[in-house]
Chain A
């Protein structure tokens, strides 16, 4: 195998790492605070559409990314409100967000013309950094920075202690003067921002298009990575890279002559999902989650 192929696989892996890791880090913040959001997939999808529309309306990729983050924040706010002050079911509202995203994005795609597909002009896509051996998206270093930053936030700051306190023992946190629902709502919005950014990255950076299937289960893979990481953003980055590698390998193998004749592409496409299962199955047991995860806090 030539060296260029190795570089190719590395770059695809890094690019595949970005959306899964960003969404997983957002979910890490949220789960640390005690909220379990299975609507990540839907937020990614909303973010993908919003990113594309924002970039096209403004002519700027940066505005596109910000639009994705804004819409993600809005969905996070809806989820957070239902899960805190409205005392709703987190699992049911997560399913609702996924369904709503699927419907709304498909509706927008059919209203905008070609049903099911909307391509984003190259001029408004995120410009790549030329590195000689390949072009790298600026979102790759940003993702690494976000992982380090959130690790620092959760483990080394007062806010991080608050977030973990409301996830671990909301009643005690309440007595200590922490506004439980407000911290949880903030965590849900932060998670929405990161998942929205991940979605916008899919449409205006990595794929350059919006489709109904663009997220392809990445929101759920991100949930699996959160399990793998044990709520440590740095391990989430590592997990994201491992899954990104298999995602990238699948893309690469599917197009590499010689291999694609031996292994049918469908089996290659299954790889990221099989690896997710295997890794999660191998990791459980040594991971401990916040005691109050998924439980709405009601003041007695």
Chain B
């Protein structure tokens, strides 16, 4: 068996993610060719559109902000050995909780803090039954989180249409009060101070996982539940912790989107600004190898694809959905641990043929 040199082996997770990214972009190019688009023009537009100016960088970070958080929700569960795909629903609940706080008309310094706390609590409330069903009835979290995502979807529709409706505009909720909105970093870009909240959360989760006994217990259960059990670590407690922390972070993501994204600062009917942020977070976490720092870079990559994808849609007119195809291929490629070996094997074969 051919073996790549040792320095590459030390960089395994990073090379695997980079390789998967390359595979995604190459297959994306072939799909564009098949549909009659020019992949070079499309990728140039995507690249320039995402990192070509200060404005595009700001948009990129604005898109990356909620993805960092929903990816953390997935990653902390994976570290604890659980497959939590419920960030999507928890995010809706967080966004609606943040909006509903503006009904209270609180004074300025408390307003945004209460809104963020309410969103985190809402995310936790939506996550709690998943943990309880798992602990009490042994229901697998893949099934329960997806069911709760759909229940959240319709519950959000109900709240938008009947409870939190803007009296003037029926197709959206009331707006977040002005004093609770997150500061915009640039006057014309959508980037808000929510980015800093996301990055602080990254730091907190990093510290929690690798510098506290709680984090040690979570990782230990994820690594070997049997050994952890015999070492006296309560597995049930970790399940509860992981889902509650994850729910709070996903709720926070929802709050940041609705409190930080101009122009409406409201949840629109059909949830266009929220849909898929939870699922995209799963991809971000996988590419970031469930590591908080890796997640930041993966979220920047996904944020770039989303920002550049919109530009690519205008010129040269490649549909935005191609970005999602590329993301899917990247995840499929990531699922194959042998990919790196196959890659080096193929390279050697090619070199041998010359």
Contact surface of A with B, Cβ cutoff 8 Å: 38, 78, 82, 86-93, 95-104, 106-107, 109-111, 216-217, 220-221, 223-224, 227, 264, 266-267, 269-270, 273-274, 276-277, 280-282, 284-285
B157 proximity list for chain A (CB < 8 A): 266
A223 proximity list for chain B (CB < 8 A): 142-143
Known: A95-B282, A99-B283, A276-B147. A110 touches B319 (CB 8 A): yes
Segment of B42-50, B148-156, B214-222, B223-231 engaged in the interface with chain A: B148-156
B147 adjacent to A95 (CB under 8 Å): no
B328 adjacent to A103 (CB under 8 Å): yes
10 contacts between A and B (CB under 8 A): A95-B331, A99-B324, A100-B328, A100-B332, A103-B324, A107-B325, A110-B319, A273-B150, A276-B143, A277-B133
A273 proximity list for chain B (CB < 8 A): 147-148, 150-151
A93 proximity list for chain B (CB < 8 A): 331-332, 335-336
Cβ of B348 under 8 Å from chain A: no
Within 8 Å by CB of A110, from B149, B161, B321, lies B321
Known: A86-B336, A273-B151, A284-B137. A103 touches B331 (CB 8 A): no
Q: In the complex, what distance in Å separates the CA atom of A95 from the CA atom of B333?
A: 11
User: How would you classify the secondary structure of chain A's contact residues: helix, strand, loop or mixed?
Assistant: helix
A221 proximity list for chain B (CB < 8 A): 147
B330 proximity list for chain A (CB < 8 A): 96
Contact with A along B133-148 (1 / 0, CB 8 A): 1001111101110111
Cβ of B334 under 8 Å from chain A: yes
B334 proximity list for chain A (CB < 8 A): 92, 96
Within 8 Å by CB of A92, from B136, B150, B335, lies B335
A285 adjacent to B324 (CB under 8 Å): no
Within 8 Å by CB of A99, from B161, B162, B327, lies B327
Within 8 Å by CB of B150, from A91, A111, A217, A227, lies A217
A82 adjacent to B336 (CB under 8 Å): yes
B328 adjacent to A285 (CB under 8 Å): no
A284 adjacent to B139 (CB under 8 Å): yes
A227 adjacent to B146 (CB under 8 Å): no
Cβ of B286 under 8 Å from chain A: yes
A92 adjacent to B331 (CB under 8 Å): yes
Q: In the complex, what distance in Å separates the CA atom of A272 from the CA atom of B85?
A: 19
A220 adjacent to B327 (CB under 8 Å): no
A227 adjacent to B140 (CB under 8 Å): yes
CB distance from A34 to the nearest CB of B (A): 16
Q: A88-B336, A110-B319 are in contact. List 9 more A-B contacts (CB 8 A).
A: A97-B328, A100-B328, A100-B332, A107-B319, A111-B35, A266-B157, A273-B148, A274-B147, A285-B137
B322 proximity list for chain A (CB < 8 A): 103, 107
Cβ of B323 under 8 Å from chain A: yes
A82 proximity list for chain B (CB < 8 A): 332, 335-336
Q: In the complex, what distance in Å separates the CA atom of A100 from the CA atom of B144?
A: 23
A281 proximity list for chain B (CB < 8 A): 133, 136-137, 139
Cβ of B188 under 8 Å from chain A: no
Interface residues in B126-182 by Cβ distance below 8 A to A read 133, 136-140, 142-144, 146-151, 154-155, 157-158, 161-162
A111 proximity list for chain B (CB < 8 A): 35, 319
Interface residues in B164-210 by Cβ distance below 8 A to A read none
B336 adjacent to A91 (CB under 8 Å): no
Q: In the complex, what distance in Å separates the CA atom of A203 from the CA atom of B154?
A: 23
Cβ of B337 under 8 Å from chain A: yes
Known: A107-B319, A227-B143, A276-B143. A270 touches B325 (CB 8 A): no
Q: In the complex, what distance in Å separates the CA atom of A99 from the CA atom of B148?
A: 19
A110 proximity list for chain B (CB < 8 A): 319, 321
Q: In the complex, what distance in Å separates the CA atom of A275 from the CA atom of B202?
A: 37
A282 proximity list for chain B (CB < 8 A): 137
B151 adjacent to A284 (CB under 8 Å): no
B339 proximity list for chain A (CB < 8 A): 86
Q: Pick the 9 closest A-B CB pairs, nearest first.
A: A103-B324, A100-B328, A96-B332, A96-B331, A99-B328, A93-B335, A103-B325, A266-B158, A92-B335
- Considering residues B83, B150, B327, which has the most beta carbons from chain A within 10 angstroms of its beta carbon? B150
Residue of A nearest to B330 (CB): A96
A78 proximity list for chain B (CB < 8 A): 332
A270 adjacent to B151 (CB under 8 Å): yes
CB distance from A271 to the nearest CB of B (A): 9
B146 adjacent to A217 (CB under 8 Å): yes
Q: In the complex, what distance in Å separates the CA atom of A277 from the CA atom of B279?
A: 20
Known: A111-B319, A270-B151. A100 touches B329 (CB 8 A): yes
Within 8 Å by CB of B327, from A103, A270, A277, lies A103
Residue of A nearest to B144 (CB): A277
Interface residues in B299-339 by Cβ distance below 8 A to A read 319, 321-339
Within 8 Å by CB of B325, from A86, A104, A224, lies A104
B149 proximity list for chain A (CB < 8 A): 217
B138 adjacent to A284 (CB under 8 Å): yes
Q: In the complex, what distance in Å separates the CA atom of A78 from the CA atom of B333?
A: 11
Residue of B nearest to A219 (CB): B146
CB distance from B295 to the nearest CB of A (A): 16
Within 8 Å by CB of A267, from B154, B324, B326, lies B154
CB distance from A213 to the nearest CB of B (A): 10
CB distance from B126 to the nearest CB of A (A): 13
CB distance from B162 to the nearest CB of A (A): 7
